[in-house]
Amino acid sequence: MTETSTVPPLPTADTTPPRQPKLLERMRIHLRTRHYSIRTEEAYADWVKRFILFHHKRHPKDMGAAEVEAFLTHLAVHRQVSASTQNQAKSALLYLYKQVLQIELPWLDEVVQAKTPQRLPVVLTPSEVRELLQHMEGTPGLIAHLLYGTGMRVLEGLRLRVKDIEFERREIIVREGKGNKDRVTVLPENLITPLKAQLQKVRALHEKDVLAGFGRVYLPHALAMKYPEADRSWPWQWVFPSPVRSQDPRPDARTGELLERRHHVLPTSVQRAVRDAARRAGIAKPVSPHVLRHSFATHLLQAGYDIRTVQELLGHADVSTTMIYTHVMNKGGRGILSPLDAL
């Protein structure tokens, strides 16, 4: 009797098709390849989820303009959201259909538009700004001084990198501001010493992170690919880094890994600090970091600076947006003397 040996079968190639990313994952990937900010990514994904839940978890490809109109009208009529909130939801859904699903939606004529209120910006007087800033300290205090001294939006200030501050030229380069445009604004003389001290602290923190095997900061995808070591270099570090490290939800451009990074300070912490300082200073106005930007523009115009110069410093695409501050400048109800005061 001969002994036969059993030959194991050759392994077969895995013919299982790769897993297709789910809809929200596809949308996030699409947004990242087009360099949208993480805030826009989170906001758009949230609106798409709300849209799906509103229509009882139906897939968007099985819906269309009628369902989009119904959702946006619901936001305006029943939820009574602001016009800007409704527009953000509309932009998210249009992006989903046109860019991700590649489905063209007809013009949404039947949507009930949320009304845009015509309000003048809240502006602090110079004495109120002084009182507010005197009640702030630490990193939030420095950020508040910077916002008032430069006219930057809060996120523009928080996203500053070391290389964006030009001490000798006394200017700050605002990268990828609203509309994805760069611009130059003034660096106040009074902030040169505090900012240099801030950078000394940040450098020590960065060197400590590097020694611990970290120290990599987020870079836009194209830059991360072109300059592989730039994310660890000093010029690209945040001017206002977070006190703690956290996992970045965006995969690393080169490795695809989720890295532990030090993000910049969150805007909510600055907003909270400004509100608390306004309360302690006894300022009876709704105060936010953006009010400092309004005050910067108004005070420059009151000092006699040309409106075109102020427009460039603020980064407004149209001078008509800057013109609103000329209305705030008028004293006592558009400069009119009340007949009561003539008695």
Q: What residues does 174 pair with on adjacent strands? A: 183
Give the Cβ contact number of residue 120 at 10 Å.
10
Q: How far is CA 114 from CA 90, 109, 117, in A?
A: 12, 14, 9
Nearest to 269 by CA among 135, 138, 134, 161: 138
Which of 264, 293, 294, 299 is an active site residue? Answer: 293
Which of 178, 232, 263, 275 is an active site residue? Answer: 178
For residue 13, give the 3-state DSSP assignment.
coil
- Tell how strand 183-186 and strand 246-247 pair up: unpaired
- Phi/psi for 247 (5° steps) reads -80, 130
Q: Is 153 marked active-site?
A: yes
Q: Is 97 marked active-site?
A: no
Q: What residues does 264 pair with on adjacent strands? A: 241
Which of 90, 135, 206, 316 is an active site residue? Answer: 316
Q: Is 178 marked active-site?
A: yes
- State the Cα–Cα distance between residues 49 and 69, nearest whole angstrom: 16
Q: What residues does 238 pair with on adjacent strands? A: 161
**Cα 138 to the center of its chain, rounded Å:** 22
Q: Is 293 marked active-site?
A: yes
Q: Is 290 marked active-site?
A: yes
Q: Is 325 marked active-site?
A: yes
Which of 153, 216, 264, 299 is an active site residue? Answer: 153
As to burial, measured by CB atoms within 10 angstroms (0-12 exposed, 13-18 middle, 19+ buried), residue 62 is exposed
- State the Cα–Cα distance between residues 5 and 85, nearest whole angstrom: 73
One-letter-per-residue 3-state SS of 260-300: EECCECCHHHHHHHHHHHHHHHCCCCCCCHHHHHHHHHHHH
- Phi/psi for 173 (5° steps) reads -95, 120
- State the Cα–Cα distance between residues 54 and 74, nearest whole angstrom: 10
- State the Cα–Cα distance between residues 267 and 183, nearest whole angstrom: 21
Helix (H) or strand (E) holding 183: strand 183-186
Catalytic center residues: 153, 178, 290, 293, 316, 325
